[in-house]
Amino acid sequence: MGIAPVTDIQVSGGVGGFRAKGEDLVAMSALTDEVAGDTLKTALAGHKFLAEPDVLASALLNPSGVAKFEAAMALALDGPTGLTATSAAIGLRGDALRATKLAYEAADELAARGLDASRWMAGLAVASAPGGVVAAGLATGTAIAADVYANYDGDWQKWLVDHPGMVDTLIGMSPGMLSSLGVPVDLASTLDLLAATYADGTADVKYLHTYRDTGPHDLRDILLGLDERNSPANKELSNIDVRIIKDANGNVTGYVVDVPGTKDWNAPWDPKSANDSGVNVDAMAGNRTVLQQGIEQALRDAGAQGTGVPVMLVGHSQGGIVAAQSTSDLVASGYNVTHVVTAGSPVGRIEIPGNVQMLSLENKNDIVPHLDASDNPNTANRTTVTFENQTGTIGENHSIGGYRENPGQPQSPRVDRNYVAVAEQLDQSSDPSVRRFLDSTDAFTQGGPASQMRTYQVTRQGVK
């Protein structure tokens, strides 16, 4: 199979994004308020000259001149274009800037809620109508089948990756369809109900090995490190590694945690590994998972707790979900999490602290980022990069992409694809949001020869 090119790279959020511009409006309104206050003070101070004793005394010698002075001064201070009116106008401009920011945010929030509501109503309408589910299913299925066989040579997988928005629609409709049974739910409570069917359990964390590792030097290296941990060719049983980044003098400057994606697809009654379906559902529902427990213990074992040394969490697919979901708990537990990188992860509904910088990479043809039926927040600390990379298969569109020309030879040349390929392009990007994120990662990308990588195996207690 040929290598599908990475195209149509688009950036949203971050310092160049909509919400960051909103913060600029707030800053400008504060500056405007200061100018308005200074102008008003000047106006108030100017009024004393209207009753200045020397000015009043001079009226005896030049009454007409003083009268002209008083009139001109009053006009300059309190006239339609005087300092007092100007101060009020500047103050109103500051209020307008704040109102504009609030209006933009409200419109953004209403649009997101409106989309959720419309999908919910569509699901309810379909499920509530007599024979609605069957009729709608038959009509939709027939239309899709016709399209698949007419335009995709009967390849259903290729059709799906060419229409990833269908995933958003169906997941967004599911709460409304469930609500037709008489128990109103939204997407969050639907996830809670589904998560309740999976028992998460307690983590067993086993330290495996320490390697010499200089750490990543750019975003491409960060994704390649994650790919190494995710690779089936990795003979270790590790599913987490912690890179301890040290400078030329051996001082620890940062910790990078690599968290790969799902390894086991299982039913609720059949718990598997710390990378199974239950972890996906629990993390998306906002619950603390065994994989998160493993991250916390591995970081503690590596010496990161309470040191103030910056921590970066890097995750693909499920790993990105858990990395994002873990951030607030880790910060509360004394870890200085400053950066998160996710690749192919549905993280739009997960909240992270405002002082944590998050970069999310999403292939538009990868259906996995669509599993939360939500766009990522457009905030100053969250940058999302979307791109096109259509291979025609679910697996290839979702893969990290750090392939070797000859997988049997560890030193053979790499062929960058998908998420690794877009990372390589972003390293050369001049986009302000991308640039700000990358320029803030020196603690993780300037490691010296004394840096190390510690590997860990995280499993569920009681599960073989």
Q: How far apart are CA 351 and CA 286, in angstroms?
A: 9
Q: How far apart are CA 91 and CA 82, in angstroms?
A: 14
Q: What is the pTM of this model?
A: 0.78
Q: How far apart are CA 262 and CA 175, in angstroms?
A: 25
Give the model's pLDDT for residue 1.
44
For every residue of 400-419, DSSP letters joined together read: --EEESSTT-TTSPEEE-HH
Adjacent-strand bridge partners of 241: 258, 455
**What crossing angle do the helices spanning 277-284 and 318-332 adopt, rounded to 10°?**
50
Give the model's pLDDT for residue 52.
64
Q: How far apart are CA 205 and CA 238, in angstroms?
A: 10
Give the model's pLDDT for residue 367.
92
Give the model's pLDDT for residue 156.
79
For every residue of 70-103, DSSP letters joined together read: HHHHHHHHHSTTSHHHHHHHHHHHHHHHHHHHHH
Tens digits of pLDDT across the chain (464 residues):
456 688 999 999 887 765 555 556 556 656 666 665 666 676 566 666 656 676 566 656 667 765 676 566 666 656 676 666 666 666 666 565 555 555 555 556 555 555 566 665 666 666 666 565 555 556 666 777 777 777 778 887 888 888 787 777 777 777 776 776 776 677 788 888 888 888 878 899 999 999 998 889 999 999 999 998 887 666 678 889 999 999 999 999 999 999 998 888 888 888 888 888 888 888 988 889 999 999 999 999 999 999 999 999 999 999 999 999 999 999 999 999 999 999 999 999 999 999 999 999 999 999 999 988 888 988 889 999 999 999 889 889 999 987 655 555 556 666 788 999 999 999 999 999 999 999 999 999 999 999 999 999 999 888 76
Count of other CB atoms within 10 angstroms of residue 175:
23
With contact defined as beta carbons under 8 Å apart, do 369 and 344 qualify?
yes
With contact defined as beta carbons under 8 Å apart, do 356 and 381 qualify?
yes
With contact defined as beta carbons under 8 Å apart, do 172 and 117 qualify?
no
Q: Which residue has the tokens 């995750």?
A: 315
